[in-house]
Copies of this chain bind each other. A is one copy, B any other.
Amino acid sequence: MLTLRKRTYDILEIKFQRKRGLSFIVNIALSVLIFLNTVAIILNTVPSIGNQFRRFFLDFELFSVSIFSIEYILRVWSSVEKAEYRHPFWGRIKFIFSPWGIIDFLAIFPFYFSFFRTDLGFVKILRLLRIFRLFRVSRYFHALRVIQNVLRDKKEELLLSVSFIIFLLLISSSLAFYIEQEAQPEAFSSIPASLWWGVNAMTTVGYGDMHPITPLGKVLGGLMAILGVSIFALPTGILASGFAEQIRGKRRSNEKVHCPICEHDFYLAESHKHK
């Protein structure tokens, strides 16, 4: 026996299920609306398009925000159906301040806020965050879980690699500042200015707006480029081993057998399992 609230919750909640019922249609429709909103926000900034279809974009914004507002209210109302947010009042508050609740709120808030202040083009960008919801559609897919597991397992090593990169960046940008300062006082005016060069040298972006011109600065720049490329090999290596580990872990679980003689478990040959 499903109450209206339970039914609302079931429809709005994204589930990966075979039966393509109302919940499936509603979620696809919301995803399409999010996608169209993204396209509208992007195209609206192109002067030639934005001016010509001004009326249309305003109407579409009104429509989208109305739908998103209704969805947000229903989601807050029905959130108590989830065990996590069971409490009638505090559960809903908890949902509102959960990451998904905040993203959903940020998507509608700038619209209502714009009644008070006129120019708020910037906050429209918050609606783009809803694209992140599109990933939720596949939340239950195998792939996302694998990537999440790898990132979680390797969090420490990845953070350490990033720390190495930042450390190297600070040292070499400071060095570059002292080396190049005299030859290019305008470009390398301070360490923060030098950091802009440093990050683009180490990640090999190399815009060309800043580059060392002194021999010593060029030696430093060359070493930095080689070191940069090599250090960015660290996260790649870490992720590669992380993915390999995931696969091996998955493969071996439930594939062990008990030896009646030595009383220990062994790995089973893979093909056996599928027989």
**Complex CA–CA separation, A155 to B236 (angstroms):** 18
**Complex CA–CA separation, A145 to B267 (angstroms):** 28
Name A174's contact: one of B41, B144, B252 (CB within 8 Å): B41
Q: Which of A229, A255, A270 has the most CB of B within 10 A?
A: A229
Chain B residues with Cβ below 8 Å from A66 are none
Residue A114, interface by CB 8 Å: no
Contact between B262 and A258, CB atoms less than 8 A apart: yes
**Complex CA–CA separation, A242 to B234 (angstroms):** 10
Q: How far is the CB of A146 from chain B (nearest CB, A)?
A: 6
Chain B residues with Cβ below 8 Å from A191 are 41-42, 45-46
Residue A107, interface by CB 8 Å: no
Chain B residues with Cβ below 8 Å from A162 are 226, 230
Chain B residues with Cβ below 8 Å from A18 are none
Contact between A257 and B268, CB atoms less than 8 A apart: no
Residue A99, interface by CB 8 Å: no
Chain B residues with Cβ below 8 Å from A269 are 252, 255-256, 264-267
Chain B residues with Cβ below 8 Å from A165 are 226
Residue A128, interface by CB 8 Å: yes
Interface flags, A48-89, vs B, CB<8A=1, else 0 = 001000000000000000000000000000000000000000
Q: How far is the CB of A145 from chain B (nearest CB, A)?
A: 10
Q: In the complex, which residue of chain B has the Cβ closest to the Cβ of A263?
A: B257
Contact between B243 and A238, CB atoms less than 8 A apart: yes
Contact between B266 and A271, CB atoms less than 8 A apart: no
Contact between B240 and A170, CB atoms less than 8 A apart: no
**Contact residues, A233-247 vs B (CB, 8 A):** 233-247
Contact between A160 and B143, CB atoms less than 8 A apart: yes
Contact between A121 and B264, CB atoms less than 8 A apart: no
Chain B residues with Cβ below 8 Å from A266 are 264, 266-269
Q: How far is the CB of A206 from chain B (nearest CB, A)?
A: 4
User: Could you list 26 examples of A-B contacts with CB < 8 Å?
Assistant: A38-B170, A41-B174, A43-B192, A45-B190, A45-B191, A125-B174, A131-B170, A142-B156, A143-B160, A147-B161, A196-B222, A199-B221, A200-B206, A203-B229, A205-B206, A207-B211, A208-B209, A237-B240, A240-B244, A241-B244, A244-B245, A253-B271, A255-B269, A259-B259, A260-B261, A267-B267
